[in-house]
């Protein structure tokens, strides 16, 4: 997910976050002005709107990264509980992704498409902190969740325990086309964390894509969905949100799709669109656009 609407956020967390940033902005601006006045020429110290915007943007980015790093170092000390009535969620108030994801209005278009029934088996690929896993487990027969990010997986398991849910099986693995390992980049916006294309960290493609990520890249274990899901008597829904790795996920689930004919809600990056359209038609599925990069794939005929 790459579009954020602050109007749907937990405003209390955002107000706290904003108050901290405001204090730092003012202090930073005073220091910048003093330094410029002492060392720069008249032209260089002229504060244009673009200069102010660039400086504040850089400062805000650095502050946000600091809070994310602080949260990762001591996640328990910087967590809160959001009570949504039917379920509760741990989240980190300094991590914007999580503030937004604990809102009931997060990705309304996806929620509307996921018409999961009481006895359905739901598979959540890219489960994050349990944004869909937790509420859907309240009504589904079973939820099978995959999340490779060790930081968000920790919150996922805590949220499962917090809600006393026993019908969730969670894997700290990346769903892919085969069992093995791939390079994974931990981004400052956790929902952007993703598999970097290529097999193993020594791959040239991995090294090229890794530029600029510093030490945020680690190997994660992978598994194909067929290895897990073919053991199930049925699979009714699969949600896939894996930041560009969706083609590999589908290739690892081909037998499951052919046998169980699940409905699939999927985020599709443009580079994968043509291949997934071809694959969708080969499975005998329709493809409905939900919103932006999100699509609903459904079997044309109910052959279960």
State pLDDT tens for residues 163-217.
999 999 999 999 999 999 999 998 776 777 889 865 443 333 333 344 444 458 8
Q: Can you give the pTM of this predicted structure?
A: 0.76
> How far is residue 62's CA from residue 76's CA, in Å, rounded to a whole number?
22
The helix (H) or strand (E) run that includes residue 52 is helix 49-73
Q: Is the alpha carbon torsion for 254, 255, 261, 263 positive or negative?
A: negative
State pLDDT tens for residues 261-300.
999 999 999 999 999 999 999 999 999 999 889 999 999 9
Distance from the first to the final alpha carbon of the chain: 32
3-state SS, residue 1: coil
Please say if the pLDDT value at position 107 is more than 80. Answer: yes
Angle at 81 between CA 157 and CA 237, to 5 degrees: 45
Q: Which one, of 302, 304, 178, 174, lies nearest residue 251 by Cα?
A: 178
Q: Which one, of 233, 246, 222, 225, lies nearest residue 142 by Cα?
A: 233
State pLDDT tens for residues 26-85.
555 555 555 555 554 544 444 455 555 566 567 666 766 777 777 777 776 678 899 999
Domains and CATH numbers, the chain: 1-105 (no CATH), 107-299 (3.40.50.150)
Please say if the pLDDT value at position 228 is more than 70. Answer: yes
State pLDDT tens for residues 111-152.
899 999 999 999 999 999 999 999 999 999 999 999 999 989
């Amino acid at each position: 997910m790459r579009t954020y609407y602050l109007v749907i956020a937990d405003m209390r967390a955002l107000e706290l976050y904003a108050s901290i940033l405001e204090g730092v902005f003012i202090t930073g601006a005073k220091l910048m002005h003093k330094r410029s006045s002492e060392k720069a020429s008249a032209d260089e110290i002229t504060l244009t709107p673009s200069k102010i915007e660039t400086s504040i943007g850089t400062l805000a980015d650095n502050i946000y990264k600091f809070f994310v790093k602080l949260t990762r170092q001591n996640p328990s000390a910087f967590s809160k509980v959001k009570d949504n009535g039917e379920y509760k969620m741990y989240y980190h108030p300094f991590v914007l992704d999580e503030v937004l994801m604990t809102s009931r209005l997060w990705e309304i278009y996806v929620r509307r498409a996921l018409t999961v029934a009481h006895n359905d088996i739901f598979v959540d690929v890219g489960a994050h902190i349990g944004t869909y896993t937790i509420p859907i487990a309240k009504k589904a027969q079973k939820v099978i969740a995959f999340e490779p990010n060790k930081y968000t997986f920790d919150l996922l398991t805590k949220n499962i325990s917090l809600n006393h849910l026993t019908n969730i099986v969670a894997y700290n693995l990346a769903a892919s086309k085969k069992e093995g390992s791939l390079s994974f980049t931990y981004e400052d916006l956790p929902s952007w964390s993703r598999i970097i294309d290529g097999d193993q960290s020594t791959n040239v493609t991995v090294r090229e894509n890794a530029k600029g990520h510093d030490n945020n890249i680690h190997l994660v274990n992978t598994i194909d969905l067929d290895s897990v899901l073919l053991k199930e008597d049925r699979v009714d829904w699969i949600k896939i949100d894996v930041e560009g790795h969706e083609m590999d996920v589908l290739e690892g689930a081909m037998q499951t799709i052919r046998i169980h004919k699940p409905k699939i809600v999927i985020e599709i990056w443009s580079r994968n669109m043509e291949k997934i359209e071809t694959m969708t038609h080969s499975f005998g599925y329709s493809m409905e656009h939900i919103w932006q990069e999100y699509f609903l794939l459904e079997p044309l005929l109910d052959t279960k």
